[in-house]
Each structure stands twice: as C-alpha cells, then as structure tokens.
Structure 1
Amino acid sequence: MAPPPSDMTDSSSTTTPLHYHLMGIGGIGMSAFARLLVARGARVSGCDESSTELTAQLQAEGIAVESGHAAAHVTTEPHGKIDVLVASEAVPKDHPELVAARAAGIEVRPRMALLDELLRAGPSIGVIGTHGKTTTTSMIAVALAGAGLDPSAFVGGIVPEFGSNARVGAGPFVAEVDESDRAFAELGSETAVFTNAEDDHVGGNQATYWATVEEQHAGFARYVAQSGRVLLCADWPGLAELCVGAKEILSYGQAEEADYRAVNVRPDPDGTSFTILFRGETLGEARVGLPGLHNVLNALAALAVNHLYGGEFGPAAAALAAFGGPGRRWQRIGTLNGALVIDDYAHNATKVAAAVQAARQTGRRVRVVFQPHRYLRTQQSWPRLADALMDADEVLLLDIAAASEPPIEGIHATLISDRMAGNGHTGIRYLPDRAEVLSVLRQSAQSGDIIVTMGAGDVWKLSRELVEPEAGGVSG
C-alpha cells in the first residue's frame, strides 16, 4: 500500500499514531476500514450494536470492539484518547456518541472522507454503479494480484482469496464506492470503473437514499468528472451521457464500439469462457467460474483494468478463472440430497433477474428462496421483482426484511406472489414460516436441483441450515 497520509499520525509527533474510533465497526465496510487503518499504522477501536462473526474476527486481530453505542466510549476513553470518530451518514447527527465527541473537540469524520483519503494516497481504482460493485471490485483485486501487481483493496464482501474484505499491498488501491452514501459524489479516483446506473437507493427520507434518480445519476457524473479516467460498460444504456465530463473515456462490453470486448462467449453449466479483444486485437482467452452474462462483464472489466495497469494477461486470467466469488455473491454453500445450494445477495429486480439467469445456465431445476428487502424498495419495485422471478421453476417467498424501516400500509410480500400467480407461474408459494421452508426443501431436494437463497436480509441463514446435515457447514 502507498505510504500513510500525513494525518495518520499526530502532527506533534512523527511516532504517535492517531486513534480512530469507528461506529458500526462490525459492518462490512467499516470493518474493512478498520483493517486498512491498522495496516497504515493507526490505532483503531470501534463499537457496534451487536456482536457478530466480523466483530469477533476484528477482536482476534487485536482491534478493540465495544458492544452498543454510547457517549461513554468517548467520555471515559476505555481504549485511550480518541483523535477521530468515524461514522456513516446513516448515524443521526444528534447521536449521543457524536455529540460527546464534538463537545470534547474530537474530529467527527464521515466514512466517505476516510475513503477519499485512501483513494488519494496513490494510484486508485474506484468501482461505482448500482449493481455488481462487490464482485467487480473483488475480481479486479484478484486479477491484479494474480498478475503480481500487489493491490490493496476495500471490498463490500469477504474475498475468499484474501480471507478478508480488505487487502494490504503496494498498490494500486482498488475500492468499492457505494452510492448509498451520498457523499460518494464528492470523491474521485485515478480510474473510475462504471458498471451501470439504475434507480436503487432512491426515494423516501432515509439518510442513505437519494431524493430522485436524477440526483443519484448526477452524483455518478460528478464522481466520473473528478476521476482521471472512466472505464464504462458500453452495454448499459445511458452511461456515456453521464460521462461527458470525464477526462478520458474507455469502455468494455459486448457492444461493437467497446474498447474492450468479450466475443465468442461460450456458457456452460459451471461458468463461461470468452475471448477478449482490445480495439480489435486479441488479448487472450478468459473464463469466469461464475454463471451469468453479468459475470462475464464483471470479469471483462477486471481484465481491462489489469491491462490498463500493465499486468500480464495470462496470470490475471488464470486467477479469475479460479475465482469463486465474494461472500454472498453466488456463493456455493454445499449440497442437500445432491442439490446444489447457492446463496446470493440479489435484492433488486435487475440483480434478481441476473441471478435467476445464472441459475438457469447450470441446466438444473431452479428453486429460489426469496426474501424481499425493505418496505420502500418493495413498494417501488414489487412488479419488477415478480417479473424477474418468473423464469425460476419454483419460488418460496419469505416476508419482507424490514432493515429497520417501519411497515408501509398495503405493502406485503404477497404482492409479488399474487402477481406471479396471476401471470401463470404455478411454482410460487408464500411461505413465511422458515421451518416450513426448510422442511419442504429437505423433503423434496433432488440431484438435478439448484437451490438459491436470495436477498439482502438474513435469508442466507437458511442456506447454511439446509446444508448442515449433509455438508456440515459452508464451502466455497
């Protein structure tokens, strides 16, 4: 990784590291920040509402983690004087811990300001877009590492090759830049990888939502304009219009005009092989061991970045061919009575449709356990969610995962199941009782099936419970 920025140490001493306290340290993003800060020589502590596997891992790595959020973390200094308190935009500005920090003269730094420091510290690649960021960021880091370029990485998921959601190396720094934090629009990177732009995280009054899709897309445009160059997906309509302010524009996709093209695409039950061209010249053969055309595009973006940063194509392509995906992104969990059990984070219509298409590519009977995520998102998109699930052979539908949102009158998971049944789907069942879901699948799973637990809530727990009797835990 590049040398630490000057503010990682106290200006009064070149030997005293700054103490960062991270609120919500057990989150997938904050935990990655914690690991990167420690690697850069800072002191780190944090707190979270609940104890999780991630908080336990951080504690095992020597990072102090307090349970719950309280002003006492600041006022009693259980782990020493705090120099910087880091919080996401989702934390209310009148939270007692933030109020105590400001009263004590402690800098309260937004999480995106911290990411901005890391992006500006050296050569950087920021992955933006409403779909595929975690997988694409992971693939870029894996490809660069395979080519011997020793990247650092900040990822919104656990990358099996790194055993972590963060990697520390000499550079360049590869980061997932999440548009759910509106402050992302003030950032930029040496290279912006722009996967797509849709209407996710739009509407409502949540701190992590945009008022309109136009405002969100303007945020994407600002990020691109503040970056050195953009590598955009030529297959996604409208991206070029959002990149008119870019200093340099490159593209990837299947479209004929793309600078980096995937051609001769050959899907099979276990993944997809394809040829990569750069402006008409063959770079080489590639393969992704994850099904679905969206993963071809993600891998193409990764190998394009590897090419831009001078990495050798062959080793990078080999690393990607062996890549099994980050946690909760088409994650192979195990088997049940010979049926393949997969867990996937897909939670909006585009992601759900892509995951169903990936499942169909395996040639198995597609059985989906779907958990709608958030009342507002369901209100905005339940017809599209229903249509995206129509290609599954069977769908077992859970109740909506509220994610701290209050219920919205008239918004219920049965909107999805009723539309699917009305459109002729005979395999849709609303099953809010999870014990019944497990019972149905355990009794009926066969070797020709693929069972996909799908959603951004806690549906992933079911996939682990399904494989426990046979596989004894998580694989892949």
Structure 2
Amino acid sequence: MTDFPANSTPVPASTPRPLHYHLMGIGGIGMSAFARLLRARGAHVSGCDDQASELTAQLQAEGIAVLHGHDAAHITAPAHGAVDVLVASEAVPKTHPELVAAREAGTEVRPRMALLSELLRAGPSIGVIGTHGKTTTTSMIAVALAGAGLDPSAFVGGIVPEFNSNARMGTGPFVAEVDESDRAFAELGSQTAVFTNAEDDHVGGNQATYWETVEEQHAGFARYVAQSGRVLYCADWPGLAALCQGAQEVLSYGQAQGADYRAVDLRPDADGTTFTVTHRDQVLGEARVGLPGRHNVLNALAALATTHLYGGDFASAAAALAAFGGPGRRWQRIGTVGGALVIDDYAHNATKVAAAVQAARQTGRRVRVVFQPHRYLRTQQSWKRLADALMDADEVLVLDIAAAGEPPIEGIHATLISERMAQNGHAGVRYLPDRAEVVRTLRGTAQPGDLIVTMGAGDVWKLARELTRPATDAAATVPTTAGDVPR
C-alpha cells in the first residue's frame, strides 16, 4: 500500500511528463480523494476551492497545490504547469469561466464520474451503490479486505481512521463509493456492485445532478447493476431484488430467510452488536461491529460477504471490523462533556435519522439529539417523516435549516418539525436556533448517563467539537453558516 501523504511514485526523467489534472472543488470529500489517488498513480495534481479548510491544508501538506477561489487563469496562466485535464462535477455550470477557458484552450474537461469510471475499469473493482450507508459500507469493505490480507485501493466519501484518509492506494481490488446524487453514475459499472438500498433521496428540485423522479433514479440503479459483473444486494430492503434482474450474477445479504449471506443470532449491547455469519446455511464464523444499530450489522455483513467473495480470510476480516470505529461523521465519537458521551452523525433524511436514533437507544443512555434539517427542498418533501423519525429521542433541539446553497422556500421552516413533534406528544422538543444557547444548555445539563448526538449533513458537526472543548477555551460564538455541497 502507498501511504498518504508520501504517496507519489517517482517518474524517471526519461519518461514523458505525467498528466496534469486540475480539480475544481478539490476541498470536497470526493474531489480530495480523487486528488490523492491520482497523485498516488504518478499524476501531477492541483486544484482550487472557494473555501480553505483542514482538508485543503492536508492536501497542501501532501504536496498537492491548492489555489483559493475559481479563476480562468488557472487554465490560461497556470501557476503549476500546463493543465491537461480539468476535472469538475456535473453540478458546475457549463458557463463557469474555468470551464469556458478550458474548452477554448482545448483542455480536456472530464466529469468526476468519468474519472471514477476510469478507475473502476482499470482492474477488479467493487462499487457501493444505494441511498444510505454507502460511506460506512465502503469503509468497512476496504478495512475488511485489508484485514484479510488483501491490498485494496479505496475511494471513500469520508475519512477512514485506519487509513487516516478518504483514499487508499493498493494493488487491488478497488472499492469505491458511487454517489447516486450525480446522475452520470448510471453509466458506470463495476466487477461487483454492492447495493445497500434504494429510496427517494436526491430527487426533485432544481439541483443540476438530482433526479426528476424516484422511478428514474431507481432505473439508474438498475442500469448500474446491469453493467456490473455481479451484484450483492440487501435482501432486507423491499423492492431491491426487482432492480437486480438485469445482473449477470445475483447474490444477496441480510437477515432475511433465503439470503446467500445472513447475519443471525444478533446480540446487541451498548457499544455494538455481535452476530453469526452464514453463507448458504454454512457458518462462516462470529463477527462483531463496534457501532450500534441494526443498519451497521447489515453494513458489516456486506463487507464480510464481499471479502468472502474475493477470497479473504473470514476470521481476519471479522477481527478488523470488530476494531473499526467508523468513518468521519458516521457515528463518530467526539468526546465527553459533563460525563455525557458526544457523538456526531451525518444522518439527514428520515430513514437515516430513524436508524441513528435506534442506534442511540441501543446504548441504554438518555438520548439527546441536536438536529439540523438539510436543504429546504428535502425539508419540504419529508418534514413529517423527519419529525416522526425523531420521536424516540428523549430530547431534541432543532436548529435552522442548512440551506446548502438552496434559496428559501416559502412556508418551509425548521419549526414544522418541532411543532409536529410537540403536537404528537413529545415533551422534550425545542426549536433552538441560537447555537451559543445550544452549547450553554447542553453544557449546563449534561450528565454521565446522557448521549448527545449532533445530527445532520450541514455544519452541525461544529457544535459537537464546541461542546467537547474546555469551557475556558471555547469561542464566544459558534459559526452559524452551513455549506454542505457534495463535491
């Protein structure tokens, strides 16, 4: 494996110069992973982003040039050498000055999904698709494969602690998170498609990469599966089997009777779940996932099934997963405050929120959620389901909606969620948009038996860090802006 940051393969002077890739939005979790993989493959990599961040600082420390802002001069007068390939998300308008400059200069403009397709086609590959659980499942597959003695490459939409990165360069197979929010994913395929679920996320509105209807999106999943060598799908998710009919080889995993790989005899506890794995009724062995929630049992089962398909040692893979603490922002343990455990989780639609609340309940602690709704359109579509998903929490503090670049929609407000919960009998819900007050409230009331979960796809994660900092070091105010735009 090539570790980061020292991950570039030296290119002999006698060889042609490496291609220079310039990545727009390089500070995004996806683009930064591309940057690391490309550099590890010997390419010359630079990028630009509107926002400086811890991630862009890490890229710079790894030897990847990061420019502030977006400018046509990145192409017409490049500071780091002539650009051969400009990589951009489909969400970037075609009229963007950098894209226009690239086309006029004859520079190849490569969509991010075309780059991912190239990586998937380069050798044995595993593409993880679905509307929930992709980041965790991709991380688990990479960790399990590595633990089983294989040497995977990985492209992940989160930081994997075992790799200290969102990318890993190995000899293979290549495991990648394939995001359905970019409609071009439907033109891809992989040797193995791991299909977690299919719901109505990333549907509707004016987002450049969103689907018009859920039926269109699900047809995209079916196309990806049909273009893959085989599919391993979750048998517990209704309707998924019908989307896999075009696959060359169909395998399943789950708790459902008849699944090829099953998790049986689940033994949940406060910190996770121990279970037995079978393959067509033959016991492969005992496994454990150190993350609570039934959804994480299924994620771990998918990883163990995939490792089995690729010939990895089951016991070694299971041991690696038992030690796995999860990727960044997926049930991430941040610290403590007043003896209370503070967790941060990316859950932002109703299914994910319900799963996170169920996981929290499994700990046996008093569950206190700070929830930030994400996007006006998503809130308009699902505020009732979000409210219902939060009902099992003991306390819920609701922040304002994280716009993520969307304009407000008249009548759509975070109070729709808090008011529905109150009307349905929840005595512990409050709309509390003042973040400094959220921090003061939780610090003043936290107890050793509490579990505080900051939840959402926006910048609610900052509150978890603020809570766990010593009060004497805490900033007087907490940032209130949200800028979650997948890149």
**TM bucket normalised to smaller:** over 0.9
Corresponding position: 1:116 with 2:134? no
Alpha-carbon RMSD across the aligned residues, in angstroms, is 1.6
CA drift at 1:14:
4.7
Equivalent position of 2:346 in the other structure:
345
Corresponding position: 1:431 with 2:432? yes
Amino acid at match of 2:215: E
Equivalent position of 1:371 in the other structure:
372
Query: 1:74-104 CA deviation, whole Å, 9 max, x = no partner?
Result: 1111111000000001100000000000000
Instruction: Describe how 1:35-114 pairs up with structure 2 within 5 A.
Output: 35-114=36-115
In 1, Cα distance between the equivalents of 2:15 and 2:204? 46
Structure 2, gaps ≥5 residues long: 3-8, 475-487
Instruction: Give the fraction of aligned pairs with identical amino acids, expressed as a percent.
Output: 84
Amino acid at match of 1:453: T
Equivalent position of 2:244 in the other structure:
243
Q: Which moved more, 1:126-135 or 1:464-473?
A: 464-473
Equivalent position of 2:256 in the other structure:
255
In 2, Cα distance between the equivalents of 1:213 and 1:197? 9
SS at match of 1:424: coil
Amino acid at match of 1:424: G
CA drift at 1:470:
7.5
In 2, Cα distance between the equivalents of 1:50 and 1:237? 41
SS at match of 2:150: coil
Amino acid at match of 1:388: A
Corresponding position: 1:17 with 2:21? no
Instruction: Describe how 1:318-397 pairs up with structure 2 within 5 A.
Output: 318-397=319-398
In 2, Cα distance between the equivalents of 1:65 and 1:375? 31
In 2, Cα distance between the equivalents of 1:101 and 1:46? 14
Alpha-carbon distance change, 337 to 151 in structure 1, aligned in 2, over 3 angstroms: same
Equivalent position of 1:276 in the other structure:
277
Equivalent position of 1:198 in the other structure:
199
Off by >2 Å, runs of 4+ in structure 1: 470-473
What TM-score do the two structures reach when normalised by structure 1?
A: 0.96
Alpha-carbon distance change, 203 to 449 in structure 1, aligned in 2, over 3 angstroms: same
Amino acid at match of 1:208: T
Amino acid at match of 2:233: L
In 1, Cα distance between the equivalents of 2:269 and 2:75? 55
SS at match of 1:469: coil
Equivalent position of 1:296 in the other structure:
297
CA drift at 1:15:
2.7
Equivalent position of 1:134 in the other structure:
135
Query: 1:244-265 CA deviation, whole Å, 9 max, x = no partner?
Result: 1000000000001100000000
Amino acid at match of 1:450: L
Structure 1, gaps ≥5 residues long: 3-7
In 1, Cα distance between the equivalents of 2:295 and 2:348? 15
In 2, Cα distance between the equivalents of 1:471 and 1:422? 39
Equivalent position of 1:221 in the other structure:
222
Equivalent position of 1:5 in the other structure:
none
Q: How many residues align?
A: 466
Amino acid at match of 1:241: A
CA drift at 1:472:
8.6
In 2, Cα distance between the equivalents of 1:199 and 1:21? 33
Amino acid at match of 1:119: L
In 2, Cα distance between the equivalents of 1:313 and 1:75? 53
Alpha-carbon distance change, 471 to 336 in structure 1, aligned in 2, over 3 angstroms: farther
CA drift at 1:16:
1.6
CA drift at 1:27:
0.2
CA drift at 1:208:
2.1
In 2, Cα distance between the equivalents of 1:134 and 1:207? 22
CA drift at 1:67:
0.3
In 2, Cα distance between the equivalents of 1:127 and 1:260? 17
Checking the alignment, whether the CA contact within 8 Å between 1:334 and 1:471 is kept in structure 2 is no
Query: 1:8-66 CA deviation, whole Å, 9 max, x = no partner?
Result: 9x9xx953210000000000000000000001111000000110011000000000000
Amino acid at match of 1:122: G
Query: 1:384-432 CA deviation, whole Å, 9 max, x = no partner?
Result: 0000000000000000000000000000000000100000000000000
In 2, Cα distance between the equivalents of 1:157 and 1:145? 17
Checking the alignment, whether the CA contact within 8 Å between 1:335 and 1:471 is kept in structure 2 is no
Query: 1:320-371 CA deviation, whole Å, 9 max, x = no partner?
Result: 0000000000000000111000000000000000000000000000000000
In 2, Cα distance between the equivalents of 1:472 and 1:44? 38
Checking the alignment, whether the CA contact within 8 Å between 1:286 and 1:321 is kept in structure 2 is yes
SS at match of 2:406: coil
Checking the alignment, whether the CA contact within 8 Å between 1:89 and 1:110 is kept in structure 2 is yes
In 1, Cα distance between the equivalents of 2:248 and 2:50? 43
SS at match of 1:400: coil
Amino acid at match of 2:449: G
What TM-score do the two structures reach when normalised by structure 2?
A: 0.94
Corresponding position: 1:462 with 2:466? no
SS at match of 1:297: helix
Amino acid at match of 1:38: R
SS at match of 2:321: helix
Alpha-carbon distance change, 171 to 184 in structure 1, aligned in 2, over 3 angstroms: same
In 1, Cα distance between the equivalents of 2:16 and 2:338? 58
Equivalent position of 1:149 in the other structure:
150
Alpha-carbon distance change, 472 to 28 in structure 1, aligned in 2, over 3 angstroms: farther
SS at match of 1:157: strand
Equivalent position of 1:407 in the other structure:
408
In 1, Cα distance between the equivalents of 2:72 and 2:25? 14
